[in-house]
Amino acid sequence: MIEIPKTYDPKEAEQNHYARWEERGYFAPEINQDPDAPVFTIVIPPPNVTGSLHMGHALQHTMMDVLTRYKRMAGFRTLWLPGMDHAGISTQLMVTRQLKKEGLSRHDLGRQKFEERVWLWKQEYGGQILKQIRREGASVDWSRERFTMDENLSRAVREAFVRLYDDGMIYRGNRIVNWCPHDQTVLSDLEVLREAQKGKLYYLRYPFKNGAGSITVATTRPETMLGDTAVAVNPKDERYSEMIGQVLMLPIVNREIPIVADDFVESEFGTGAVKVTPAHDPNDYEMGVRHNLEQIAVIDQFARMTEAAGADFAGLDRYKARELVIEKFEALGLLEQVVDYEFAISKCERCKTVIEPLTSTQWFCRMDKLRDLALTSLREDGKPRFVPQVPYEKVYSDWLENLRDWTISRQLWWGHQIPAWYTSDGEIIVARSFEEAKQKAGTDQLTQDEDVLDTWFSSALWPFSTLGWPEETEDLRTFYPTSVLITARDIIFLWVSRMMMTGLKFMGREPFADVYVTGTVLDKHGQRMSKTKGNGIDPLDVFEKYGVDATRLTLASVGATDTRWSERQVESYRNFANKIWNAARFCLMNSDGAESISQPFAGDLPLHDRWILSRLNKTAREVNAQLEQYEFHGVVQTLYHFFWDDFCDWYIELSKATVTAETESPERGIARARLISVLEQSLRLLHPFMPYLTEELWQKLPVEHAQLLHSAYAGAEPTIMLAAFPQCDNALVNDSAESEMQAVIDLVSRVRNIRSEMNIKPGERIQLMIAANPGLQTVFTASADQITRLTRASHLSIDGNAAMPKASARAVLSGGAEVAIPLEGLIDFAQERERLLKEKDKLQKEGAKLEAQLGNQDFVERAPAEKVEDLRARLTDIAQRTVALDQMLEALS
RNA sequence: GCCCGCUUGGCUCAGUGGUAGAGCACUCGCUUCACACGCGAGGGGUCAAUGGUUCGAAUCCAUUAGCGGGCACCA
């Protein structure tokens, strides 16, 4: 007899296993000895080196680990590759802040020293999240851990850059870009947030040069007028058609600017005339290009006015300049009106500073051809397959269709420095290394571009750079393309689409077959969790309070829909873990004699054994199917109900008498072995979700552990991680056993119901009389001992006729059986009549519904015959039960 | 502005054409030799509204309302 504590303590199991799993190499694909094993690969979405674990990570990691553990147990050569992203801006900010405390700026250190400093920071403070990933139980292969700034990955970045440049897909150019005045770098469109902002719309008058009146423009940013080089109107706007081509005198600066016609202008908005500032507005920039307008930069990289803005403005902050411009317009009598106005403003995703659109020379990636690769792959090969398909496939393809060039340079020091050099006469040399650049240029008088690449440029290569690309490594051949990408929806554009494009471009194949987009864990009010709101729940706290396994079940059942966080939910899964623990406790307490039974289910089996085997195998079938379809929520439900309802509530109870028999016997040993075998298989099914608990218990079971391993892991030190994932054995699926068992369950439930309704004390033994048709008689007779035990009967009779005593509580079962519990002296006839009438009423309502449906000619003719038959059978059953109830009622009167 | 999703018992959520489900909460009864993080028995929903398709709709279609999200160059 094996004794374990009454309550499951997750902490002990959590401490016991992870280090051992890792040390023994169970996470690495090399553990698989089968050369023909199918391959399953996931690359982790690399968390930022500055990051720490939040609920979103825990959610994704749980799902990735579930799939990885499942596939590993199913015999796949499995790789889940971990790593981190160098997170250019965040990390640089972090280190800059640290330097500031020492009274230093990065410029004090210089670029090289600064970079060294960042690496030191990474060593000391970075990668907290890696420890936390271990805590989650994630079975990632640490031997293949990668970092986007690793030399190999940096080489991949340079290679990709050079190839794209050579193909004309990367270029350097002067264009309008999003500039963050705080972070002092350019940003891509995706790193900019659009926020609604309450502000004002200013109506400004621009007089004609010839003094004949003025034209009024409306703007939210009056300070940019200092850089205006035109006013635009819609060519079809009759109000202005005669003014096109005329010249205005720009107030304050006294510059002559033309009125141009452009389709971009919406006649209905404002006055229908737009001031054009090509240097500071993306649309104006486009118009400027169309009309060959001068770009006058009046705002600098610190969001201050430049010399070009004029002596009164130079050096002023952009908002101060706005006030001054308005003052001057007012003084000139040119401010027509100011109205309240709500509009969208761009902010830096990271520091929330208002973005300043500036023209600047940057590196860009042309997206047209890459986009076509991705769209063709989706349309012709259906890759990637989005789960759920709606809405993500459309979101993804719509975005691709409207894709604009990607600004890839950043004015940072932390990141992959752009592999471009300039000769003294300004020629651009793009090369994989300085050596190669010198060769190409024929001189060593070269200066490398100061800028680094967008962090997402290296992330875009992640599925193959981590496997060794551009080298044709064994890993790359084996593990690319990966099987599935699990991610949150907010990086479908930033990351997923870009991986698709680079994967197709460089590898000629999609980087992943499927993309599973998880739901979001919201706070209890339905709000997104965020640091600024302070409404986040720390997964580590939840692990601490309820255990990792319970948390994982909670997160897995979130699936693909947004779900409000509910601690109650975790609590219920904690209870489930405890239930498993105690079921195992019972099995272990009654395990003597079981270990010698090698084939517990050989030979003829009693009903409850045939039943549980059928249930177990159907569950295995269901679980496998649901995992293949990423139906995480469904799998959790399937496992929960199989284990709790079928195994605990019924199988253990049905086995109890035999299993707990005081004297040793072959029957007892076999029953014990059967119980343990079902438990053991259940633990294997549960393992991907609850790795710690299942390993802890599995190791304790008196079974031949080594024989339970999947053949691909033969010879490994036994662990449930490498045990074969149960598959459905169709020979053990047994529908008649299930329906027979169901009859027993219904019988027991009805008797318990009567006991409860008639207020029969739990300890009180009853007499139980059953009248049934021959088929059910056989079933009940075979299970008589169990029925007696579960209904707490002292005496049980089963026969074919219904000579029941009048003073009894009675019930009619479906399928042709009646029960009676004689209650001489205890029964209140009126009350019993009431009870039976209620029952009859229920049956009649159901019967009426069926009759109505069957009375509908259209239904009978058009519905499938099977369905019609089914309804008829149910109606017949109801009719028979009604007759039986009538007889009982008659007997009572 | 455009696109999309959600609306199911008190709460959090499953279910996607054929008899409305779970967990928690609630009511009643239980120290029944695995488990009170438990056991047994119950109550509770016209599946947002309206219209349509269908023999049959919570499920498909349309419209409306409320909530949420994404995209967007009306200055």
What DSSP string runs through A312-355?
Answer: TTTT-BHHHHHHHHHHHHHHHT-EEEEEEEEEEEEEETTT-PBP
Per residue in A460-473, pLDDT (tens digit) is 999 999 999 999 99
Cβ of A649 less than 7 A from strand B: yes
φ and ψ of A808, to 5 deg: -145, 155
Which nucleotide comes closest to A583 if you measure CA to C1'?
A: B34
CB A384 within 8 A of CB A510: yes
DSSP conformation class of A603: S
CA–C1' nearest nucleotide, residue A558: B13
Residue A349 pLDDT > 90: no
| Residues A87-114 pLDDT 10s | 988 899 999 999 999 999 999 999 999 9
Q: What whole-number percentage of chain A has pLDDT above 90?
A: 76
Give the pLDDT score at A196: 81
Nearest DNA or RNA nucleotide to A219 (CA to C1') = B75
Q: Is the CB of A574 under 7 A from strand B?
A: yes
Nearest residue to nucleotide B33, by CA–C1' distance, is A660
Element (H, E) at A4: none
Closest nucleotide to residue A651 (Cα to C1')?
A: B34
Taking the C-alpha atoms of residue A546 and residue A244, their distance in angstroms, rounded to an integer, is 72
pLDDT tens by residue, A655-700: 999 999 999 999 999 999 999 999 999 999 999 999 999 999 999 9
Q: Tell me the nt nearest to A755, Cα to C1'.
A: B41
Under 8 Å CB-to-CB from A101, ≥6 apart: which residues?
Answer: none
pLDDT tens-digit map of A824-853: 877 888 888 888 888 888 888 888 888 888
Matching residue, tokens 């079928």? A646
A887 CB neighbour count, 10 Å cutoff? 15
Please, are residues A826 and A882 in contact by the beta-carbon 8 Å criterion? no
Instruction: State how far the Cα of A260 lies from the Cα of A291, in Å rounded to an integer.
Output: 8
pLDDT digits (tens, 9 = 90+) for A460-513: 999 999 999 999 999 999 999 999 999 999 899 999 999 999 999 999 999 999
As a rounded value in angstroms, the CA-to-C1' distance for A761 and B22 is: 30
Nucleic strand B within 7 A of Cβ A789: no
A241 Cβ within 7 A of any nucleic strand B atom: no
**What mean pLDDT comes out for the span A420-434?**
94
Asked whether strand B has any atom less than 7 Å from the CB of A874, the reply is: yes
pLDDT tens by residue, A718-733: 999 999 999 999 999 9
- What is the mean predicted confidence (pLDDT) over A225-247? 92
Angle at A673 between CA A669 and CA A674, to 5 degrees: 120
A265 touches strand B (CB under 7 A): yes
Nucleotide with C1' nearest the A653 CA: B34
CA of residue A743 to C1' of nucleotide B42, angstroms? 21
Q: Measuring from the CA of residue A857 to each C1', which nucleotide is nearest?
A: B55
Q: Is the CB of A280 under 7 A from strand B?
A: no
**ipTM of predicted assembly, 2 dp:** 0.95
Residue A129, both tokens: 């999240």
Judging by beta carbons within 10 Å of its beta carbon (0-12, 13-18, 19+), is residue A329 exposed, middle or buried? buried
Mean pLDDT, residues A765-786 taken together: 94
Return chain A residues 599..638 having CB < 7 Å to nucleic acid strand B. Answer: 631, 633-634, 637
pLDDT of residue A233 exceeding 80, the answer is yes
Q: Helix A735-757 and helix A774-782: axis angle, to 10°?
A: 80
φ, ψ for residue A307 (rounded to 5)?
A: -60, -35
Give percent helix, percent strand, percent coil of chain A, each to the nearest 5: 50, 20, 35
pLDDT tier, A802 (very low <50, low <70, confident <90, very high otherwise): low
Write the DSSP assignment of A186-225 as a string of letters.
EE-GGGEEEEEEEEEEEEEEEEBTTSS-EEEEEES-GGGG
- What is the 3-state secondary structure of A721-736? HHECCCCCCHHHCCHH
Strand partners, A170: A365
CB A87 within 8 Å of CB A129: no
Give dist(CA A262, CA A271) in Å, integer: 15
Work out if A528's Cβ lies within 7 angstroms of strand B: yes
| Cβ contact A282 with chain B strand, < 7 A | yes
pTM of structure? 0.94
Nucleic acid strand B within 7 Å of A788 CB? no
Query: In three state form, how does the secondary structure of A743-802 look?
Result: HHHHHHHHHHHHHHHCCCCCCCCEEEEEEECHHHHHHHHHCHHHHHHHHCEEEEEEECCC
In angstroms, the CA A559 to CA A636 distance is: 10
Angle between helices A10-23 and A548-556 (to 10 degrees): 80
The spacing between the Cα labelled CA in A407 and the C1' in B75, in angstroms, equals: 24
User: Up-side HSE of residue A652: CA atoms within 13 Å toward CB?
Assistant: 21
Looking across all nucleic acid strands, the nucleotide with the smallest C1' to CA distance from residue A221 is: B75
Question: Lowest-pLDDT range, A16-30, A547-561, A878-892?
Answer: A878-892
Tokens (6 digits) for A312: 């009164």
Which nucleotide's C1' is closest to A565 (Cα)? Answer: B12
- Check if residue A493 sits with its Cβ under 7 angstroms from strand B: yes
Q: Is the CB of A842 under 7 A from strand B?
A: no
φ, ψ at A819 (rounded to 5°): -125, 155
Q: How far is the CA of A577 from the C1' of B25 (A)?
A: 21
Is the separation of the CB atoms in A809 and A766 below 8 Å? no
In the structure, how far is the CA atom of residue A568 from the C1' atom of nucleotide B10, in angstroms? 15
Q: Which nucleotide is nearest to A650 (CA to C1')?
A: B39
- Positions in chain B where some atom is under 7 Å from a protein CB: 3-6, 11-15, 18-19, 22-24, 28-42, 54-56, 67-75
CA distance A815 to A834: 23
Query: How far are the Cα atoms of A45, A241, A600, A746 from residue A605, in angstroms, in the given order?
Result: 50, 95, 10, 21
Q: Which two tokens stand for residue A882?
A: 């009604």
| CA of residue A812 to C1' of nucleotide B11, angstroms | 36
Give A298's DSSP letter: -
Euclidean distance between CA atoms A741 and A815, whole angstroms: 13
Distance A465 CA to B75 C1' (A): 44
| d(CA A398, C1' B2) / Å | 12
How many beta carbons lie within 10 A of that of residue A333, not counting itself?
A: 9
User: Is nucleic acid strand B under 7 Å from A672's C-beta?
Assistant: no
CA A514 to chain CA mean position, Å = 13
CB A471 within 8 A of CB A508: no
Q: CA angle, A417 as apex, A411 and A418 as ends, to 5°?
A: 90
Q: Is the pLDDT of residue A76 over 80?
A: yes
Q: Which helix (H) or strand (E) holds A434?
A: helix A434-441
Burial A786-804 (b: 16+ CB within 10 A, else e): bbbebbbbeebebeeebeb
Band (A453; pLDDT cuts 50, 70, 90): very high
Note the CA–C1' distance, A499 to B69, in angstroms: 24
Determine the nucleotide nearest to A586 by Cα–C1' distance. Answer: B34
State, as a whole number of angstroms, the distance between the CA of A399 and the C1' of B49: 34
pLDDT per residue as tens digits for the range A615-648: 999 999 999 999 999 999 999 999 999 999 999 9
Distance of CA A635 to the CA centre of its chain: 15
Cα dihedral A140, A145, A148, A149, rounded to 10, equals 160
The neighbouring-strand residues paired with A770 are A798, A819
pLDDT-derived band of residue A801, with 50, 70 and 90 as boundaries?
A: confident
What's the average model confidence in pLDDT over A19-44? 96
Chain centroid offset of residue A112 CA:
39
Beta bridge partners of A820: A769, A810
- Strand B within 7 A of A402 CB: yes
Long-range contacts of residues A310-318, Cβ cutoff 8 Å, at least 24 apart: A310/A226, A310/A252, A310/A253, A313/A223, A313/A226, A318/A223, A318/A356
Q: Contact at 8 Å (CB) between A206 and A248? A: yes
Nearest nucleotide (C1') to alpha carbon of A763: B32
Residue A837 has what pLDDT? Answer: 87
Q: Chain-wide mean pLDDT for chain A?
A: 93
Please check whether strand B approaches the CB of A875 to within 7 Å: no
CB A448 within 8 A of CB A431: no
Single out the residue of A54, A46, A64, A56 nearest to residue A514, CA to CA: A64
Report residues 192-231 of A contacting strand B, contact meaning Cβ closer than 7 Å: 194, 201, 217-221
Over the range A128-141, which residues count as b (16 or more CB within 10 Å of their CB) and which as e?
A: ebbebbebbbbbbb
Which residue, counting CA atoms, is nearest to the C1' of nucleotide B73?
A283
The SS3 call for residue A293 is coil
